[in-house]
A = this chain, B = another copy of it.
Amino acid sequence: MKKTARAHTNIALIKYWGKANQALKTPLMSSLSMTLDAFYTDTTFEHDSSLTEDTFILNGQKQTPEESKRVFNYIHLLQEKFGFNDHFTIKSTNHVPTSAGLASSASAFAALATSFAASYGLDLSRRELSKLARLGSGSATRSIYGGFVEWQKGIDDASSYAVPIDENPDLDLSLLALEVDTKQKKISSTKGMKLAQTSPFYQPWLARNKQEIAELKQAIKEKDFTKIGKLSELSANEMHACNLTANEPFTYFEPETIKAIKLVENLRQQGIECYYTIDAGPNVKILCTLRNRKEIISAVQKSLTNVKIVVASFGPGVTLL
């Protein structure tokens, strides 16, 4: 009746930026991510016929009905799917600093889907779990698996799920999450994704998706850090280029984002190989190898003011605790 799951968040290297179906959260493109060890969510799901209401406690704080709405709607959807209707209590602890620009919704909905299924004794494959997670948040689809994960876009609810590419990559790859200062109000991912589709470059980008996924999978197979870095940086920039050319144009970049981008460019010119990726926010994540990590961290601290850096590497898939 009461089960706890832990799921790690992930960062997309080939980006997901557009929904084919708003309700099913099926995407317009396949994406490929790296699950991160440093950031995770623990979620306990308990259901009981004796409970008189639904409760959502996040980081020890009972959430208001308004704050709980998304999570409740999600659980009600899953309950309907499997024919359950009793009340439940969700206790969730996020080990994802929201300010680091990493979506906590990925680990949150992966942990929630898994604890929900276990609590009801549903014997679901990880593939089925990834579909359930997707109904909560697109990026959660990928957090079911560890290491490198592909979210195959599919054509409907049944065919849109994650597959593991390499759950335990034997690859020297670190991610430095740079938390930069910002006071700017953010355009939500949902809104940004819709706007981006008005860009003249959106369809050309989509047309490249299959090739980009194939190239990154090949680079992962070959343990080719340079190729992985270049493809990741390109995918992120394609996403931000679509935002910049949308009608109307917008950008998640802040002044500090440009500083971080130029820093990475400068480091590369000095022979210190590293690449950046940027999601729907101003924060920059740097991909590097262990050899250069210390030097890059020191350069970041010198160039950017008030920056916090979190170091991450490959994290595992979802587990029951």
- Contacting pair B244 A240 (CB below 8 A): yes
Any chain B CB within 8 A of the CB of A72? no
State whether the Cβ of A120 lies closer than 8 Å to any Cβ in chain B.
Answer: no
Question: How many interface residues does A have (CB within 8 Å)?
Answer: 33
Q: What 1/0 mask marks residues of chain A from 222 to 255 whose CB sits below 8 Å from any chain B CB?
A: 0000000010011001101110110111110111
In the bound complex, what is the Cα–Cα distance between A249 and B259 (angstroms)? 15
| A265 interface neighbour in B247, B250, B254, Cβ under 8 Å | B250
Q: A255-B258, A259-B255 are in contact. Are A238 and B234 (CB under 8 A)?
A: no
Q: Are A237 and B230 in contact (CB under 8 A)?
A: no
- Report the separation of the CA atoms of residues A74 and B260 in the bound assembly, to the nearest whole angstrom: 40
List the B side residues contacting A254 at CB < 8 Å.
258
A6 vs chain B, min Cβ distance (A): 36
A245 touches B241 (CB 8 A): yes
In the complex, A262 has a CB within 8 A of chain B = yes
Q: A200-B205, A241-B201, A244-B240 are in contact. Are A249 and B262 (CB under 8 A)?
A: no
- 30 A-B pairs whose Cβ atoms sit less than 8 Å apart in the complex: A184-B262, A200-B205, A200-B208, A200-B234, A201-B201, A201-B204, A201-B205, A201-B238, A201-B241, A203-B204, A204-B204, A230-B247, A230-B248, A234-B245, A234-B249, A237-B244, A237-B245, A237-B249, A238-B245, A241-B244, A241-B245, A244-B244, A249-B265, A251-B258, A251-B261, A253-B253, A253-B258, A254-B258, A255-B255, A255-B259
Which residues of A come within 8 Å of B, CB atoms? 184, 200-201, 203-205, 208, 230, 233-234, 237-238, 240-242, 244-245, 247-251, 253-259, 261-262, 265, 268
